[in-house]
A and B are shown apart, each in its own frame.
Chain A
Amino acid sequence: MAKTMYEKIWDAHLVHEDKETVSVIYVDRQLVHEVTSPQAFEGLRISGRKVRCPNKTFATMDHNVPTRSKDLALASETSRRQMEQLKKNCDEFGVRCFDFMDDDQGVVHIIGPEMGLTQPGMVIVCGDSHTATHGAFGALAFGIGTSEVEHVMVTQTLQQKRSPTMLISVDGELQPGVTSKDVILYIIGQIGTAGATGYVVEYAGSVIRDMSMEGRMTVCNMSIEAGARAGMVAPDDTTFTYLQGRDFAPKGDNWVKAVSYWKTLKSDPDAKFDKVIKINAGDIAPQVTWGTSPGQVTSVAGEVPSPDSFEDPVARKAAQGALNYMGLKSGVKITDIPIDVVFIGSCTNGRIEDLRAAAMVIKGKKVAPSVQALVVPGSNRVKRQAEKEGLDKIFVAAGCEWRHAGCSMCLAMNDDQLKPGQRCAATSNRNFEGRQGPGGRTHLVSPETAAASSVTGRLTDIRIFLANNK
């Protein structure tokens, strides 16, 4: 019978199958960070259990880390305690930890792929909702809670029900200035923040095929913002070329065997999806969120909508609440909205390609005097690579702050926070109330749009910006 990629990976991981109730699936990789793991390790200690497969478990510190300098003394006492606890837990249970001072430390969803820990056909979990990022490699990857983290530590498996499948196909040509970030924001705007709840989404079509691994990761990363359990892209030569030679990628004979297996993973041509959505790439403009939910998004050439334009009373009320919180009036042009802060980074857009794109836009220009611009590489490796290419110098010359790797202002658990009322153009993934700091106002955009907005001091149409700055 024809199968989707998800079904192939699912079938290959069944430890116990019960179609009526719940199945048990094997987990190839568990990634761990400091915020959602301490209670799981404590659970092991209380029950006297071990981590079943320490060699399949990898940890890093990212949510809490200071980014101004490599100095733990900059972290709050509670943050420091949480990081020290992770190190202690990893030492006690034999788990490899890329800790704060490690050369390979970084945002968990950046370092997994860049070290080759993320591979096609794997089941990958992490106590973090953006785990879907790893699906870009044709892995089944999803976020779990701390009880489940402990469950995987003990059993190397998870209890799961088979999910329904959704195919989102993006075909046609993207307009200049439109990035993978705009593609996923547009998709979320089309299907809604709960549009894919419970589904495993496969992204396909010529636009996804033509994307780099970095672009595919950005798309899969935000699957959760449409409610999806996971998002994935079929592995192909782009995937294999990216992976070959990376630290934890298979080597020698194993590489050959692995690649021939990975080539079998793509969905069969006649496989049935429970839902199919087709997106015309030409319809996608650079996107900007105007509200407090990622689905409250529009074209950069558009206006802040009127709550009355929403038929559904619940959506209307949500829009009204969002406009109040965001301090915006309906009818205002998006490009007339001034900003105070620009944040370039996160597991969505903190990879080398994102920094290259932002640097290209900002090169030779100056950040507006009223704007604070933070550039936070997703990992130490990304930072080193960017410095090798001289990107740091471009950012600093423009007036940006060049920071150390971490989650930083995406969720503002460290001291990188918006002040109440400050408005930010952010390349991260969530514009929730208070996400970037209590009272902070977030507009989600691509790295290119963020960089251009830092120069003009307002939300900016990258297409016009590029045309005016040839």
Chain B
Amino acid sequence: MDPFITLTGIAAPLDRSNVDTDAIIPKQFLRKIERAGFGKHLFHEWRYADYDGLKENPDFILNKEPYRKATILLARDNFGCGSSREHAPWALYDFGFRCIIAPSFADIFYNNCINNGILLVRLKADEVDELFAIAAFGASGRIAVDLEKQVVAAAGKKYSFSIDPFQKECLLKGLNQIGWTLQFGDNIEAFEKKLAVEKPWLA
């Protein structure tokens, strides 16, 4: 996993609440058995005018300049709700997004993003409103994110955000979570031995 330290980039404003993972990556693209190549199907039904994805919908934000090159996504409440499909963060990452800013995120989606090196920033709804206004300026409305300092900066203003310290460390170091857990290998073995004695039906 690539570390996330700082990022300055174009932010694409996606002005909808309750954006679900079916919308982020529709089911017909979940049949792949690889992790790569989901970016071109991101937001498929909104992004393309036809089922096969050959014709772009010119009104969709990611089909407008300069947002095709956006690395930050601005969103509304409850972003990423619904299905647990990790294909959603894979598609966002593959498109180029490294950070999503919204007032709130769905729970499973949040963890899936952290596990893929995407920083999710929760800000107050009125702060997100301000960023939407700034992002409307496109390339001149770039947003800077500093994870170490936990600050988003745009148009001369700073917005601080909170994040779980462990998840922060995982992102800053690009930590492999399985490797981290395996340091507790002895605890796991001890737990299983105890289980066999106390709850043999679970052993």
Contact = CB atoms under 8 A, between A and B. Distances in A.
A412 B27 contact: yes
A64 B33 CA distance: 13
B112 interface: yes
A413 B31 contact: yes
Contacts of A161: 164
Interface string B83-116: 1111001000000000000001011100110011
Contacts of A144: 84, 108, 111
Size class of the B contact interface (CB-based, 8 Å) = 35 or more
A422 B187 CA distance: 54
B78 A193 contact: yes
Given A35-B30, A145-B112, A157 B188 contact: yes
B77 A194 contact: yes
Nearest to A80: B31
A223 to B, nearest CB: 11
Contact of A194 (B22, B104, B191): B104
Contact of B17 (A78, A128, A148, A318): A318
Contacts of A16: 184, 187
B148 to A, nearest CB: 17
B18 A293 contact: yes
Nearest to B108: A143
B202 A122 contact: yes
Give the contact-size bracket for chain A: 35 or more
Contacts of A42: 33-35
B157 interface: no
A432 B165 contact: no
B36 to A, nearest CB: 10
B16 interface: yes
A9 to B, nearest CB: 12
Contacts, number: 177
A438 B45 contact: yes
Nearest to A315: B17
Interface stretch (A20-28, A233-241, A301-309, A331-339): A20-28
A436 to B, nearest CB: 10
Which among A63, A79, A119, A145 has the greatest number of chain B C-beta atoms within 10 A? A145
A127 B33 contact: no
Given A21-B165, A197-B78, A147 B116 contact: yes
Interface stretch (B5-13, B137-145, B175-183): B175-183
A227 B201 contact: no
Given A21-B166, A148-B111, A159 B31 contact: no
Most buried by A among B33, B164, B177, B191: B33
Given A129-B84, A254-B201, A434-B22, A197 B28 contact: no
B142 to A, nearest CB: 25
A24 B183 CA distance: 11
A257 interface: yes
Contacts of A28: 202
Given A315-B17, A413-B31, A24 B181 contact: yes
Interface string B177-203: 110111010011001100100011110
A81 B34 CA distance: 12
B23 interface: yes
A26 B20 contact: no
A85 interface: yes
Nearest to A17: B187
B196 to A, nearest CB: 12
A36 interface: yes
Contacts of A412: 27
Given A145-B112, A257-B200, A318-B17, A26 B86 contact: no
Interface string A242-269: 0000000010001101100100000000
Interface in A22-77: 22, 24, 26, 28, 35-36, 38-39, 42, 47, 63-64, 76
A146 B84 CA distance: 9
Given A198-B107, A293-B18, A432 B202 contact: no
B33 A81 contact: yes
B34 A39 contact: yes
Contacts of B192: 26, 156
B78 A194 contact: yes
Nearest to B28: A413
Contacts of A411: 22, 27, 83
A154 to B, nearest CB: 5
B166 to A, nearest CB: 4
Contacts of A78: 31-32
B166 A314 contact: no
Given A194-B78, A314-B17, A315-B17, A433 B23 contact: yes
B179 to A, nearest CB: 9
Interface in A338-388: none
B175 to A, nearest CB: 11
B82 interface: yes
Contacts of B106: 194, 197, 227
B19 to A, nearest CB: 10
B26 interface: yes
A430 interface: yes
A140 B180 CA distance: 23
A295 B18 CA distance: 10
18 contacts: A15-B188, A35-B85, A39-B34, A39-B86, A78-B31, A78-B32, A79-B31, A121-B199, A147-B177, A148-B111, A151-B177, A154-B182, A193-B81, A197-B104, A314-B77, A432-B23, A434-B22, A438-B51
* 9 nearest A-B residue pairs (beta carbon): A250-B201, A145-B112, A38-B33, A145-B86, A78-B31, A21-B166, A143-B84, A147-B115, A129-B84
Given A81-B33, A435-B22, 11 more contacts: A15-B191, A16-B184, A22-B164, A24-B184, A39-B33, A47-B178, A129-B84, A145-B85, A147-B116, A261-B199, A430-B83
